[in-house]
């Protein structure tokens, strides 16, 4: 049996301290059976989703209660004790009793790091007052190395990615991914520490390089079925960034990210594929400060999400360095879990930008916003998107889970804050475009890995009267 413990010195109040948890010292031996209440039943042992709140354990033994003095991890899990409080949404000094165990179990399962979790309380060793929160868990497979394949409208791509979801048992994440495609080739690498040394501090660093053919469509107002391209330009982006943030509550975080890149444009071509003299955008430095306010009160279990999410992003460029623009993004999601494993989700996005460069345009068309049209078919500096999606379980086979979904997407995009030194197309000077679609799809999940393994969507553009197919294999995240 593997056992690891983190505990604190006696405290004279029950509020959570600001200091991170101390590292473990001596192992804590379990108390005698007479002083330990029976553990609650395991949650998540079967691949079906649990009820909204696991049933509280019923016991005739004395009920333990008191401030949290430390955390312990037992069993085959690699999660460290100082990470348990962050994942369970509690801290040293918080009052807890056996009635809180279902809530702690649900929070741990929602982290998507475990297949099964049992949480119990044990008396803290003398002279420390309070209780030890003991977690006995089996981990999901935390890393994956997989090829990817994407068949999207206007883009066929193949790639290879490596993702680690629980590095060193500290809930740290890193991702390395590269792809070569007919439209977009890229490399992306990032490392995220969501709770530095068990504290409320979070930080991230990332590297992002891409070469993309930016297609600007004709989109004649009198012919919504048109998918003709009027101009195509190759954009190359070489950039990276660093983020630092603070988790005020488990569902409330604020962060700042400094991002810098050099962007250049080559090989502009007209509708006939002939080179044209002038690129639609100037080369330059793109250096900005991103500010994010995030409220994330969602829970996750076996591909089902429920709860609310909202995020406000503000991004001005650094004055005097390259491009000069400002943009904002507001996202709001809410999901309901119905009939145990059904999910209904509503999403809304609003974006606005001033004097945007070509590579920062807001777009419509694609798996993230409008699945019934070509990828990035419509462009602008103001965008609004609405999505509703309902997904249901189909069946499970061995370690695979199959889900089906139906969806409706709608959006608007147009240019309202244009630049005087950018070459806009004639159709981009109009009032903008409103489009919508309906469709259906399915997902295949690995029970032991967080992201879906395969995704397929068939969307039908209502105004365009034409279907579009989106197919992804590998590290997909629709």
Write out the residue range of the structural domain in which residue 76 sits. 3-55+62-138
Enter the pTM of the model. Answer: 0.82
Residues 152 and 115 in one domain: no
132 falls within a domain: yes
The mean of the pLDDT values for the chain is: 86
Residues 301 and 430 in one domain: yes
Residues 130 and 247 in one domain: no
Q: Of 118, 138, 158, which marks where a domain is finished?
A: 138
CATH number of the domain bearing residue 89: 3.10.20.310
Over its C-alpha atoms, the chain yields an Rg (Å, rounded) of: 25
| Residues 377-388, mean pLDDT to the nearest whole number | 97
CA distance 137 to 88: 13
CA distance 418 to 439: 34
Residues 133 and 157 in one domain: no
Find tokens 């107002």 and name the residue. Answer: 221
Q: Which residue did the predictor score with more confidence, 27 or 191?
A: 191
Residues 125 and 164 in one domain: no
478 falls within a domain: no
pLDDT, position 31: 37
Residues 79 and 124 in one domain: yes
Residues 103 and 227 in one domain: no
310 falls within a domain: yes
Neighbours of 120 (CB within 10 A): 23
Least confident range from 54-58, 99-103, 214-218, 292-296: namely 54-58
CA distance 418 to 163: 39
Residues 36 and 177 in one domain: no
Contacts (Cβ under 8 Å, ≥6 apart) of 413:
362, 363, 364, 378, 379, 380, 382, 383, 384, 432, 433
Tally: H helices and E strands in the chain: 2, 24
**pLDDT of 200 over the 70 cut:** yes
For the stretch 119-155, pLDDT in tens is 999 999 989 899 999 999 999 888 888 899 998 887 8
CA distance 213 to 219: 18
Banded pLDDT at 401 (limits 50, 70, 90): confident
- In the chain, how many domains are there? 2
* Two structure tokens written together for 338: 């119905």
10 falls within a domain: yes
Residues 193 and 301 in one domain: yes
User: Do 283 and 260 touch, CB atoms closer than 8 A?
Assistant: no
Residues 395 and 455 in one domain: yes
CATH number of the domain bearing residue 265: 2.40.160.50
Q: Of 117, 138, 159, which marks where a domain is finished?
A: 138
Residues 258 and 172 in one domain: yes
- In DSSP terms, 250 is beta-bridged to none
* Two structure tokens written together for 365: 């068309």
**pLDDT of 421 over the 70 cut:** yes
Q: Of 138, 173, 198, which marks where a domain is finished?
A: 138
**pLDDT of 28 over the 50 cut:** no
| Residues 93-114, mean pLDDT to the nearest whole number | 94
**pLDDT of 434 over the 50 cut:** yes
Residues 93 and 225 in one domain: no
pLDDT, position 453: 75
């Amino acid at each position: 049996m593997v056992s690891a413990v983190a505990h604190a010195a006696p405290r004279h109040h029950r509020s959570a301290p600001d200091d991170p948890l101390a590292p473990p010292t001596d192992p804590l031996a379990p108390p005698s059976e007479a002083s330990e209440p029976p553990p609650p039943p395991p949650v998540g042992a079967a691949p079906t989703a649990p009820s909204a709140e696991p049933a509280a354990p019923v016991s005739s033994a004395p009920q333990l209660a008191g401030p949290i003095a430390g955390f312990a991890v037992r069993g085959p899990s690699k999660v460290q004790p100082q990470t348990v409080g962050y994942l369970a949404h509690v801290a040293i000094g918080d009052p807890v009793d056996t009635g809180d165990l279902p809530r702690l179990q649900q929070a741990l399962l929602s982290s998507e790091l475990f297949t099964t979790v049992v949480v119990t309380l044990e008396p803290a060793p003398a002279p420390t007052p309070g209780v030890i929160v003991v977690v006995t868990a089996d981990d999901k497979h935390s890393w994956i190395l997989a090829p990817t394949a994407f068949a999207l409208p206007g883009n066929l791509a193949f790639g290879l990615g490596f993702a680690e979801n629980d590095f060193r048992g500290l809930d740290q994440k890193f991702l390395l991914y590269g792809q070569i495609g007919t439209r977009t080739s890229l490399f992306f690498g990032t490392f995220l520490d969501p709770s530095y040394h068990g504290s409320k501090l979070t930080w991230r660093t990332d590297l992002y390089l891409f070469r993309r053919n930016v297609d600007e469509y004709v989109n004649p107002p009198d012919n919504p079925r048109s998918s003709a391209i009027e101009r195509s330009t190759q954009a190359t982006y070489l950039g990276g960034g660093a983020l630092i943030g603070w988790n005020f509550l488990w569902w409330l975080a604020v962060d700042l990210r400094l991002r810098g890149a050099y962007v250049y444009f080559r090989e502009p071509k007209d509708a006939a594929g002939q080179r044209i003299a002038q690129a639609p955008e100037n080369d330059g430095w793109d250096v900005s400060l991103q500010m994010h306010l995030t409220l994330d009160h969602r829970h996750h279990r076996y591909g089902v999400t429920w709860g609310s999410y909202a995020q406000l992003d503000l991004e001005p460029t650094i004055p005097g360095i390259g491009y000069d623009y400002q943009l904002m993004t507001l996202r709001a999601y809410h999901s309901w879990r119905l009939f145990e494993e059904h999910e209904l989700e509503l999403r809304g996005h609003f974006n606005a930008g001033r004097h945007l460069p070509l590579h920062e345009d807001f777009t419509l068309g694609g798996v993230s916003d409008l699945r019934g049209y070509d990828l990035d078919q419509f462009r602008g500096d103001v965008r609004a998107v609405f999505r509703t999606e309902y997904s249901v379980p189909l069946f499970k086979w061995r370690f695979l889970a199959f889900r089906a979904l139906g969806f409706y997407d709608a959006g608007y995009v147009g240019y309202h804050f244009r630049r005087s030194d950018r070459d806009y197309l004639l159709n981009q000077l109009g009032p903008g475009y409103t489009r919508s679609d309906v469709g259906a799809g399915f997902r295949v999940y690995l029970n032991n890995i967080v992201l879906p393994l395969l995704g397929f969507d068939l969307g039908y553009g209502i105004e365009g009267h034409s279907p579009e197919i989106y197919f992804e294999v590998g590290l997909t995240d629709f």
